[in-house]
Amino acid sequence: MKLAKDILEFFKEPIMAVLVALIISHFLISHITIPTGSMISTINIGDHMIVSHIPFYHRNPDRGEIIVFKYGGDNLIKRVIGLPGEIIDVQQGKVYINGEELAETEYIRFPDTTYPQIVSFPYTIPEGHYFVMGDNRENSADSRSFGAISRDVITAVGGYRIYPFNNIGVVD
C-alpha cells in the first residue's frame, strides 16, 4: 500500500503540470507554425506564433484582424475583410465593401492581384459569417474560393510571432 501511495505521490505533480498545460493550450493560448505563404509578407512560411483564444469567447472579430479558424480539419490563418451582412465585391484585384474600396495597401503584398475566384461577386456575407482573405492575394485559398466562414469555426486571434528571432513581435 505504501508503494502505491509513493508512486502516486511521485507522479502527481507531473500529471498536474500536463493537465494545466493542456487546459492553457486548448482554452487560452496555443502555438502554431505557419505552413503556407498565404499571409506573406505579414506572416511568412515557417513563422512560429502564439495565438490567443480568449478574445473570441466574449467578442466577434473586427475588420482587419488576423484570425485562426478551422477549415476542412486544418487550422487556417487569414485576415477578416468583410463582416456579417456586408456586400463584398472584388474587381481587378480591388476589394469593395458596400460599394466603397477597402484601403489595404499597408498589408497586402501585391496590390490589384487576385486568386482564382469560385465565389460569384458581388457576394452578400450571411449573418454569423465573415469574409476572410490572405494578405498574399495571388496565392491564398480563402473566402474567394470557399465562401464566408461561420463565426463558430473561429478559434483564435493571430497574435505574437516568437520565431524567427529577428522578427519577434505582435502581428497586425
Domain ranges (residues) in the chain? 2-170
pLDDT band at 160 (very low <50, low <70, confident <90, very high): confident
Q: What positions carry a catalytic annotation?
A: 38, 78
User: What is the model's pLDDT at position 39?
Assistant: 86
DSSP assignment of 29-59 = EEEEE--SSTTTTTS-TT-EEEEESTHHHH-
Q: Is the pLDDT of residue 158 over 80?
A: no
Q: Which candidate, 134, 159, 136, places its Cα nearest to that of 49?
A: 159
User: What is the model's pLDDT at position 26?
Assistant: 63
Residues 2-170, CATH architecture: Ribbon (2.10)
User: What is the model's pLDDT at position 57?
Assistant: 67
User: What is the model's pLDDT at position 93?
Assistant: 81
pTM of the entire structure?
A: 0.81
Q: What is the mean pLDDT of residues 116-129?
A: 90
